[in-house]
Amino acid sequence: MSQLFSPYQLGNLTLANRIVIAPMCQYSAEDGNASDWHVIHLGNLALSGAALLFLEATAVEPDGRISPFDLGLWSDENEAALAKVLDSAHRWSDMPIGVQLAHAGRKASVDRPWKGGHQLGLNEGGWTVHAPSEVGFESYPRPPRSLTGGDIARIVEAFAASAQRAVRLGLAAIELHAAHGYLMHQFLSPLSNRREDEYGGSLENRMRFPLAVFDAVRAVVPAGYPVGFRISGTDWVDGGWDVEQSIAFSKAAKARGADFIHVSSGGLSAAQKIPLGPSYQVPLARAVKEATGVSTIAVGLITEPEQAEAIVGTGEADLVGLARGILYDPRWPWHAAAALGASVKAPNQYLRSQPRQYSKLFA
């Protein structure tokens, strides 16, 4: 029996298999509101046969958007727009959909990637960005302002308020974005956090803000509701965030009730030196899993069914995350099930597409 296609439990959420669709920014929202693009995009992925689909990084306040076109969940208008998209997806698919709640910090106020991704000027629709310290992201000309204690408290409450909206919308899980150089990662890494108060300096202090966000979110969601973190396992820069600190953070998160850790890497510094290759981030997930026992999601150039099967089957991670690969091949779980002799759920409208040689592919 394929381990990749065996069920898994995250809190009170039962997953049909071990394939997770990771959050992927679409830069197609309007004032934080989901658009028709999201109906097409999420509807397509909801028919893929994966077990869980995470919405893209979803800002908890307007200044927390990466770009002016990011999805948001800070207002009633945002909530209503997303409800329409989710209703459409759930009408045709029972795939659980979760959300990644995020704040971009010093990496906010940029243009869409296909427009160059440069930091937008204040006369171009950009805004003043904030961070743990007045240490800018290398390629951005406008430095951030350091967050005050009051700012930090406000952002913690913004995460909690967005979490309440997520629960009302019927979203199945919450992932807190502490990776890729965004705000919570900026607090964690000594490269970006130069504070001298209770939020900076020691590892305990640098972990304080993201753990406060977790506690605030956990306090407003139902018992058993899955909440976890996405982290960068390492900055890939000497003197920065590394796997040992990731393990310490994951232990602290698990002790507070975190249901999973989604392990990626990098994104904080242009000085990063990433050894790209198949499964290049899986050792980071394995290290976290072995040291903490927390459920882990591995991601990063996982492209082949046998590769994903080995990651789960050997216990390197509990789940595998697909991102750009599933945009390229939205039926990747179907093809993986066929290759591994497993079965997958398909919509009734597509049942006749089952190839003759895979007569038991569609459960």
- Exposure string over 246-276, b if 16+ CB within 10 A, otherwise e: bbebbbbbbeeebbbbbbbbbbbbeebeeee
Q: Using 50, 70 and 90 to split pLDDT, how confident is the model at 332?
A: very high
What is residue 72's three-state secondary structure? strand
- Mean pLDDT along residues 286-292: 98
Q: DSSP class of residue 190?
A: T
User: Of residues 8, 27, 182, 199, which has the active-site annotation?
Assistant: 182
Spatial separation of the C-alpha atoms in residues 326 and 324, rounded to whole Å = 5
Neighbours of 3 (CB within 10 A): 19
Domain ranges, ordered by start, for the chain: 8-353
pLDDT at 349: 96
Alpha-carbon distances of 149 from 41, 111, 114, 146, 209, rounded to whole Å: 38, 29, 36, 10, 10
Burial class (CB in 10 A: 0-12, 13-18, 19+), 141: exposed
Name the band, by pLDDT with cuts 50, 70 and 90, for residue 363.
confident
The span from the CA of 14 to the CA of 16, in Å, is 7
Average pLDDT over every residue of 177-199: 98
pLDDT for res 138: 83
Residue 266 has pLDDT above 90, yes or no: yes
Q: Is 328 tagged catalytic?
A: no
pLDDT at position 139 is 81
Percentage of residues in the chain with pLDDT exceeding 90?
99
Max intra-chain CA distance, the chain = 65
- The model's pTM is 0.97
> Which of 280, 239, 266 has its CA nearest to residue 181?
266
**Burial readout 187-225 (b: 16 or more C-beta within 10 A, e: otherwise):** bbbbbbbebeeebbeeeebbbbbbbbbbebbbeebeeeb
Mean per-residue pLDDT for 184-201? 98
> Do 70 and 26 touch, CB atoms closer than 8 A?
no
Task: Give the tens place of pLDDT for each residue, 58-99.
Answer: 999 999 999 999 999 999 999 999 999 999 999 999 999 999
In this structure, CATH architecture of domain 8-353: Alpha-Beta Barrel (3.20)
